[in-house]
Amino acid sequence: MKTALVISPHADDAAAFCGATIAKFADDGWHIILVRVTDDRKDSVGLTVEQTIAKNTEELHAAVKILGVSEIVELGFETDMLADVPLGKLRERMVYLFRKFKPYAVFSFDPFGLYENNQDHVRVAQAVDEAYWIACFDKHYPEHFAEGLEPFSVCERWYFARQLSKVTHYEEVAATIERKIDAVCAHREMMKNTINQYQLQVKTWGKQVRWLQQSKDGDMKPLIGLFLQEQAKGLAQEACWDTEVKLAEAFRLERFGGLEELFQMMAEPLNESEPAPVRAELDHPQEEPTNEIEEAHIIPLDIKERIRIMGHHHLCAGAFDELLKMPVFRIGYASLVDHINPNPDLIVETVYGYGQFCYHCVYFSQDEGRCTSGWKNKLAKDYAVLEHLGLKPGSQTRLEDLQKMLAEKVSYQKLEDFCGPGGPGKCEFYALGVCQKSFAALREKYGIESK
Ligand SMILES: [Zn+2]
C-alpha cells in the first residue's frame, strides 16, 4: 500500500485544493495521511478561540472521512502566524514526517504558486519543498536517527496553488468531485468565514449579494458546488478534455526533473517493491516533433545497408548486438541506433576522421579535438586498430566478416590494451563488460580458441 502525505496548512486546504484527487487515491487503496499544520483558532465568525478550535477540528474529522483520509497528524502551530515561525523549525517538522511516514507522494502548496496572499500557505510550501531534499541527508537532524528513523526521499511532489505558475498534470476527477464538494461544505465554520469576507468586501463596494447570506444561513452546497464544479470544468477545458464527461484538478507534479528521461531508460524494478503508479505525462512525455529535413541530413539514407565508422569503432562492431540494446549506449547515440540494422550483410565502411557515431556522441566536440572524455585524440587508436585488423580507410567489409576477423585477431589482452582502463584508449563502455562477453561469444561462434 502506498502512502500519500497531504500537507494542509489549515483544515480546509486539503479538501479545497486537492480533495477530489485525494478521494481518488483513497479509492485506489492509498493510505492517506493529512497533516494539519495550524490549529485554525481564528477561522470563524462570532465564536471564541476555544469554540473555534473545537468546531474546526470536529468539522475536519467529518471532512476527511468523506475523502477517505485514514489518519490526521496535528502540528498545532498558531493559525495565521507561521510568518513568525522560523522557516527552519517548520522544515524540521516536515523532514521528520517524511522520514517517519515514508510517503510515496506528498501534496502541498506550490512555493512558486501565483497570487498567494496567505503567509501560512507560503511558509508551508517553502518548508515542504526544502524538506523534500533535506530528508535524504544523513547529517540533518541526527535526533531523528536516534529515534530509529532513516534518511528518506519522497518520490512524487504534487503541488497545488491558487494559480500554478506551471501545470504539468491534470488529474481526472469526475468520479470524486461530489465528495470534494461535500468535504468542503463539511468545513462549515470556515466556509462561513470565507463568505463573510466576501460580504464585507461587497458591502464596501456599496452592494449586497443575497445568495451569500442565504448560503451562510442555510445550505451552502449549491453555492460551493457551483463554484467547485465550474473550477474543475475550467481546468478540464485547459487539459483539452470533453468537459461533458471529464473534470480536473491541476498540479505541478514533480518527480526527477531533468533526470526523468535518463531514469525512464535505465531504471529496473526493485524486487520487493510495489509497482510504480503510471503517470502518463512523466512516463510518456510528449515527444518533440522531429524535424524531418534536419534529420535527413544527419541520418544517411542508406544506413540500413551501410555504415561508415572510424578505426577504433570497428572494435565496437564485435559487440553491436549487445551495445545497440544498452540504455547507456542509446542515450549517447539514440537517434542513430534506432536506424542501424546490425545484420550479417551490413557493409561497414572504414573512414578516416569523424565517423557517423561521432556526430551523435554526447562526448563529441569540435573544439576539443575528437572527444571530450577519456583521451582527447583517438586518431592514434584508430590507426593502431586498423593496422592490427589489416584494414585501411575506404575498406568495405560485411559485418559478419568483420566480426569473424575480430574473433580471430583480437585476443582478450589486445581488447584490454585497446579499450581497457589501463591503456591509452580507455572506453566508457568497456567497463560495462559487454564487449568482453560479446568477443568471447564471437570466438565460440567461429570455433576460435580463447586466448
Ligand atoms: Zn489555508
Name the more confident of 424 and 247.
Answer: 247
Three-class DSSP category at 254? strand
Please give the backbone phi and psi of residue 156, each rounded to the nearest 5 degrees, phi first.
Answer: -120, 135
Whether 241 and 332 map to the same domain: the answer is no
* Residue listed under C-alpha cell 500554478: 164
pLDDT above 60: residue 339: yes
The pLDDT-based confidence of 332 (bands split at 50, 70, 90) is low
pLDDT above 60: residue 296: no
Mean pLDDT of 364-391: 70
Ligand 1 midpoint to CA 109 (Å): 9
Q: Which of 323-332, 345-354, 385-394 has the lowest mean pLDDT?
A: 323-332
Domain range for 378 = 300-445
Whether 10 and 66 map to the same domain: the answer is yes
Can you tell me the distance from the alpha carbon of 3 to that of 277, in angstroms, rounded to the nearest whole number? 12
Instruction: Please say whether the beta carbons of 3 and 72 come within 8 A.
Output: no
Ligand 1 midpoint to CA 183 (Å): 15
Q: Which of 255, 287, 314 is the last residue of a domain?
A: 255
Ligand 1 midpoint to CA 413 (Å): 68
The beta strands (E) that lie in 378-432 are given as 396-398
Ligand 1 midpoint to CA 443 (Å): 70
Ligand 1 midpoint to CA 154 (Å): 23
Ligand 1 midpoint to CA 188 (Å): 14
Q: Which of 197, 232, 255 is the last residue of a domain?
A: 255
Name the more confident of 313 and 50.
Answer: 50
Ligand 1 midpoint to CA 44 (Å): 13
Can you tell me the distance from the alpha carbon of 406 to that of 384, in angstroms, rounded to the nearest whole number? 14
Whether 117 and 11 map to the same domain: the answer is yes
Ligand 1 midpoint to CA 122 (Å): 10
Whether 204 and 102 map to the same domain: the answer is yes
Ligand 1 midpoint to CA 43 (Å): 10
Q: Please check whether residue 98 lies inside any domain of the structure.
A: yes
Mean pLDDT of 272-296: 67
Ligand 1 midpoint to CA 189 (Å): 13
Q: Please check whether residue 246 lies inside any domain of the structure.
A: yes
pLDDT (0 to 100) of residue 137: 98
Whether 327 and 245 map to the same domain: the answer is no
pLDDT (0 to 100) of residue 366: 60
DSSP-assigned states of every residue in 60-118: HHHHHHHHT--EEEEEEEPTT-GGGS-HHHHHHHHHHHHHHH--SEEEEE-TT-BS---
pTM, 2 dp: 0.69
Mean pLDDT of 377-406: 87
Q: Please check whether residue 292 lies inside any domain of the structure.
A: no
Q: Please check whether residue 277 lies inside any domain of the structure.
A: no
pLDDT above 80: residue 223: yes
pLDDT above 60: residue 376: no
Torsion of CA 289, 293, 297, 299, to 10 degrees: 50
Ligand 1 midpoint to CA 233 (Å): 22
Condensed to tens digits (0 to 9), the pLDDT of residues 137-158 reads: 999 999 999 999 999 999 999 9
Total tally of structural domains belonging to the chain: 2
| Helix axes 13-27 and 49-67, enclosed angle (nearest 10) | 30
Ligand 1 midpoint to CA 175 (Å): 25
Q: Please check whether residue 271 lies inside any domain of the structure.
A: no
Whether 13 and 137 map to the same domain: the answer is yes
Ligand 1 midpoint to CA 14 (Å): 8
pLDDT above 70: residue 251: yes
Whether 313 and 396 map to the same domain: the answer is yes
Ligand 1 midpoint to CA 434 (Å): 56
Ligand 1 midpoint to CA 263 (Å): 35
Q: Please check whether residue 362 lies inside any domain of the structure.
A: yes
CATH of the domain at 238: 3.40.50.10320
Whether 172 and 27 map to the same domain: the answer is yes
Whether 312 and 211 map to the same domain: the answer is no
Condensed to tens digits (0 to 9), the pLDDT of residues 100-143 reads: 999 999 999 999 999 999 999 999 999 999 999 999 999 999 99
Whether 76 and 153 map to the same domain: the answer is yes
Name the more confident of 188 and 447.
Answer: 188
Instruction: Please say whether the beta carbons of 329 and 337 come within 8 A.
Output: yes
Ligand 1 midpoint to CA 409 (Å): 73
Instruction: Give residues with Cβ within 8 angstroms of 75, minimum separation 6.
Output: 35, 36, 37, 38, 93
Ligand 1 midpoint to CA 16 (Å): 9
Ligand 1 midpoint to CA 53 (Å): 15
Mean pLDDT of 257-278: 85
Whether 215 and 320 map to the same domain: the answer is no
Ligand 1 midpoint to CA 48 (Å): 20
pLDDT above 70: residue 425: no
Residue (of 101, 31, 36) closest to 68 by Cα position: 31
Condensed to tens digits (0 to 9), the pLDDT of residues 27-70 reads: 999 999 999 999 999 999 999 999 999 999 999 999 999 999 99
Cell of 403: 566480426
Q: Please check whether residue 450 lies inside any domain of the structure.
A: no
Whether 226 and 108 map to the same domain: the answer is yes
pLDDT (0 to 100) of residue 451: 66
Q: Please check whether residue 281 lies inside any domain of the structure.
A: no
Ligand 1 midpoint to CA 65 (Å): 19
